């Protein structure tokens, strides 16, 4: 592979300033929504005593999970030695940090009392998975920053593979911790499953790569830099594998629950009688987020089209949000079963009642604000530092494919 030249973007076009203006506006609106909820109390949201994790948590968990997956491109290059992905490693690390910052910003601002974060940072209960995650999130951010330094400083390039391996292991632990938040909540019928941890790891691969693919295409389209087909096909095919893997884990999760008698109730709720949760599962998570992208990525008529690749990545992201909605909100909406298989005295305080939840505009705006913050970090960073290669043509990313294509063309011309 030829030496890759990295350049900052010019960042002086009206389109770039317009992008920053739109993202900045959403960030300010998100801050305003957080202030409104903090000032008036969480009664202005759709969250209740039963649904304590609302729409902001859907955005936050999705971004945190995607942050781990966004680093996958750099990991494939440094840990597994796949050189075609190496020019994308810097952007991969940048996107991972940006998505994590956006997700954590939403979580902190959704606390109602953000200053209480100081208590969580100074007083630890190591029986709580939330205490573990404080170290996992901050550690991941620090490790990826060091990883970026190793890649961008020529004198430190020799250490990039070792740090990349450490970052790869850390991100697996981080996503395991995020999935274990739900897997360890044994009181919730929809959460109580060891498969949650590996399923979240595979979900991170899918969501992070989908966002990375869209950011890569938008960056090169907006700056007019050449972007070859070879790297896009590789990313698209890899994304298809991850989407299929997520679908496999989802099927394994639900088939296992259907086998276990105590989980029949929650499975009936999610799969058949859950109203909006059932619709979100079948239409959003399975059809939009899994089956349609797989058809797009592997059908001969659409698999090589950049427009269809982008559409497939968007569908994966939409399906990811649907999956987070079903997991986080649906898991809380189903009533607690304190003593499975036993008859117990019940009260009138929501015992056995499906909890209702309607997100408020303030929750949605906070989630959009955190998402905008993540992409604003990326947009500013690529202008200030050299994260983007000047060119990603096929002869740079995959010279063997370019040579084969050229020889095929010569042969065709000769026979013609």
pLDDT of residue 404: 45
Would you give the distance in Å from CA 348 to the centre of its chain?
A: 39
pLDDT of residue 350: 63
Q: Encode the chain (416 residues) as per-residue pLDDT tens digits.
A: 456 788 888 888 999 999 999 999 999 999 999 999 988 888 899 898 888 899 999 999 999 999 999 999 999 988 888 888 889 999 999 999 999 999 999 988 887 677 777 777 777 777 777 778 888 899 999 999 999 999 888 888 888 889 999 999 999 999 998 898 888 887 788 888 889 999 999 999 999 999 999 999 999 999 999 999 999 999 999 999 999 999 999 999 999 999 988 888 899 999 998 899 999 999 999 999 999 999 999 999 999 999 999 999 999 999 999 999 999 999 998 887 766 666 665 666 666 678 888 999 999 999 999 999 999 999 999 999 999 999 888 877 766 554 444 444 443 333 33
pLDDT of residue 414: 37
Determine if residue 354 is left, alpha or beta; phi over 0 gives left, psi from -120 to 50 gives alpha, anything else beta: beta
Tell me the backbone φ, ψ of residue 80, rounded to 5 degrees. -100, 0
pLDDT of residue 319: 96
* pTM listed for this prediction: 0.90
The token pair at 255 is: 């088939």
Domain ranges of the chain: 24-338+352-402
Architecture of domain 24-338+352-402: Up-down Bundle (1.20)
């Amino acid at each position: 592979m030829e030496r890759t030249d990295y350049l900052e973007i010019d960042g002086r076009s009206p389109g770039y300033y317009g992008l920053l203006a739109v993202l900045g506006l959403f960030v300010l609106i998100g801050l305003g929504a957080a202030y409104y909820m903090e000032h008036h109390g969480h009664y202005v949201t759709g969250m209740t005593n039963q649904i304590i994790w609302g729409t902001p948590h859907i955005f936050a968990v999705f971004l945190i999970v995607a942050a781990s997956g966004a680093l996958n491109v750099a990991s494939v290059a440094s840990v597994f030695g796949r050189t075609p992905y190496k020019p994308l490693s810097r952007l991969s690390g940048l996107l991972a940090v940006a998505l994590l910052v956006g997700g954590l910003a939403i979580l902190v601002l959704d606390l109602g009392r953000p200053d209480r974060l100081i208590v969580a940072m100074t007083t630890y209960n190591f029986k709580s998975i939330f205490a573990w995650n404080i170290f996992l999130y901050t550690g991941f951010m620090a490790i990826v920053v060091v990883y970026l330094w190793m890649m961008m400083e020529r004198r430190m390039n020799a250490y990039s593979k070792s740090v990349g391996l450490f970052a790869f292991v850390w991100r697996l632990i981080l996503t395991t911790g995020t999935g274990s938040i739900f897997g360890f909540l044994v009181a919730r019928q929809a959460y109580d499953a060891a498969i949650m941890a590996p399923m979240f790891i595979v979900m991170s691969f899918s969501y992070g790569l989908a966002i990375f693919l869209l950011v890569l295409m938008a960056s090169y389209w907006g700056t007019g830099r050449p972007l070859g087909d070879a790297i896009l096909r590789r990313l698209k095919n890899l994304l298809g594998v991850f989407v299929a893997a997520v679908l496999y884990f989802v099927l394994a999760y639900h088939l296992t629950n259907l086998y276990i008698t105590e989980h029949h109730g929650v499975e009936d709720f999610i799969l058949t009688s859950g109203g909006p949760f059932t619709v979100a599962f079948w239409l959003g998570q399975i059809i939009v987020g899994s089956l349609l992208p797989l058809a797009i990525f592997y059908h001969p008529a659409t698999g090589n089209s950049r427009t269809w690749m982008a559409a497939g990545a968007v569908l994966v992201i939409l399906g990811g949000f649907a999956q987070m909605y079903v997991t986080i909100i649906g898991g809380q909406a189903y009533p607690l079963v304190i003593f499975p298989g036993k008859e117990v005295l019940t009260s009138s305080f929501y015992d056995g009642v499906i909890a209702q939840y309607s997100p408020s505009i303030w929750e949605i705006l906070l989630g959009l604000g955190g998402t905008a913050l993540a992409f604003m970090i990326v947009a500013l960073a690529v202008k200030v530092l050299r994260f983007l290669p000047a060119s990603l043509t096929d002869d740079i990313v995959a010279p063997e494919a370019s040579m084969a294509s050229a020889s095929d063309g010569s042969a065709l011309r000769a026979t013609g």
